[in-house]
Amino acid sequence: MDTNALQHIVWVSGIVITALLILICPAIWWKISKKKDAPFRPNMINVFFQTLISIPFILIIGLIITLVVDSYLIEDSSKEFSSENWHKYAEKRTEYANQIVDNQLLIGKTKEEVVAILGNDTVNYFSFGIRYDLGNQSAIDRYWLLIHFEDGKVYEVIKAGM
């Protein structure tokens, strides 16, 4: 499921749940006001005003919960390697390189297919294949994704650093 569809589901769910809370709010206030130790008598005017006062708080809480869930899902979707994420989240390329190596995602692909997936922005071509610069992990650590070709197809992918 793509991120936009997931966001749509989260926002619609947030709106529906918030609306349901607003709809049951009068019943909750009525139940509270019927208790023996309630500071007010149960009547429709009290319940109406208590509900009216509660609505902004319910809306704010619903919005905050929806935003938190939405931001969690967006962040979570950026953790998985995809060509789109590789280009969009360049700072996470070291993590993506681990996924590429561990899951052998490029094995058997041609040079053109690799460039179509990873792009041409941080690439260097060598006799053994292609080297993608993954950037600095810290002040002194630098990493590369080394892609070795044999007979025009990827046969080995290594994450190297110094």
12 — phi, psi (to 5°)? -65, -45
- 26-40, 49-63, 76-90, 129-143: which is most confident: 49-63
Strands 142-150 and 129-136: antiparallel
Which residue's structure tokens are 């080995």? 156
pTM for the model? 0.55
Give 157's strand partners: 147
Confidence category of residue 69, pLDDT binned at 50, 70, 90: confident
What is the model's pLDDT at position 56?
Answer: 92
CA–CA dist 52, 101 (Å, integer): 57
User: What does the radius of gyration of the chain's CA atoms come to, in whole angstroms?
Assistant: 27
Confidence category of residue 2, pLDDT binned at 50, 70, 90: low
Query: What is the rounded average pLDDT of the residues 49-74?
Result: 86
Say if residue 49 is exposed, middle or buried (CB neighbours under 10 Å; 0-12, 13-18, 19+).
exposed
pLDDT at 116 over 90: yes
pLDDT at 1 over 60: no
What is the model's pLDDT at position 100?
Answer: 93
138 — phi, psi (to 5°)? -145, -165
Structure tokens at 155: 């046969």
pLDDT at 78 over 60: yes
Contact 115, 104 (CB under 8 A): no
What percent of the chain clears pLDDT 90, i.e. is strictly above it?
30
